[in-house]
Amino acid sequence: MMIDTHSHIAANIEGLEFVVLSGTSIEDSRNNIKLSKNDKRLKAAVGIHPQEKTSNFKHQILKLEELLIENKNIVAVGECGLDFSNLPKSLFDKRDFKDMEILFRAQICLALKYKKPLIIHSRKAMDETLEILKSYKNLTGVIHCYTGGIKRIKNVPESFYFGIDGKVTYEDGLVEVVKNIPKDRLVLETDSPELTPIPHRFEKNCPEYVKFIYQKVAEIWGRSPEGAEKIIDENARRLFLQ
């Protein structure tokens, strides 16, 4: 059964083994925990998205740690990371970048302390993100919606996985990237409700549509759907259900 390793909605999960609900704020993370208690197929991640950083982000970290202490069934920390997409170069505020990095590093420390994989969000910041990851040992996780191209694949720590989304059904560049990612380090994700794959592009995305991404990867690998699914599912279980 297929697995959606990154979603922001908990509906339309028919036929899936499990769905990882990515956390973007304290409130969102709490909601993920609540949902995961009502349905075993929903797995909660808790994290602060870089764009959800508040001015009092140290308080956000304290709250995040409370959630990790109180809820043993949390499967990952994240999504967390760096996002430079909303920072025009001319207005680039150094302090804001520094705070984003502190928030990211604090979540890395929580992942290590509570032995959870990390879900990493990195937008227009892949080199900076990989540079930070290099300095930690025993860290595992996924680069969600990997956008580093072929050339950065080798820079991603070997203990990390590559999350590939619905864009692979319509972006040739991403097809080439998938060909170059080691098969035992690939996981698939919808990022619902965004990034809807073909044939539902421009509609709202949902976890069930991960099947179209599975199909596409089987095609790229030149394998049977069953053969490809087995490898991809094992990767997702190894990462999130260890």
**Which positions touch Zn ion (CB under 5 A)?**
22, 191
HSE, CB side, 13 Å, CA atoms: give it for residue 83: 16
Q: Which residue's C-beta sits nearest to Zn ion?
A: 22
Calpha distance 178→72 (Å, rounded): 34
Q: Which residue lies nearer to Zn ion by CB, 187 or 228?
A: 187
Cα separations in angstroms, 40 against 16, 50, 60, 205, 235: 11, 28, 27, 21, 19
Shortest distance, position 194 Cβ to Zn ion, whole Å:
8
Shortest distance, position 90 Cβ to Zn ion, whole Å:
28
Can you give 3-53 as a three-state secondary structure string? Answer: EEEEECCCCCCCCEEEEEECCCCHHHHHHHHHHHHHCCCEEEEECCCHHHC
Q: Which residue lies nearer to Zn ion by CB, 189 or 208?
A: 189
Q: Which residue lies nearer to Zn ion by CB, 20 or 177?
A: 20
Shortest distance, position 108 Cβ to Zn ion, whole Å:
18
Q: Which residue lies nearer to Zn ion by CB, 75 or 228?
A: 75
Q: Which residue lies nearer to Zn ion by CB, 4 or 208?
A: 4
Shortest distance, position 8 Cβ to Zn ion, whole Å:
6
- Dihedral of the alpha carbons of 28, 80, 195, 170, in degrees to the nearest 10: -170
Contact between 156 and 148 under an 8 Å Cβ cutoff? The reply is yes
Shortest distance, position 53 Cβ to Zn ion, whole Å:
15
Shortest distance, position 192 Cβ to Zn ion, whole Å:
9
Produce one character per residue of 114-128: b if its CB has 16 or more CB atoms within 10 Å, e if not. eebbbbbbbbebbeb
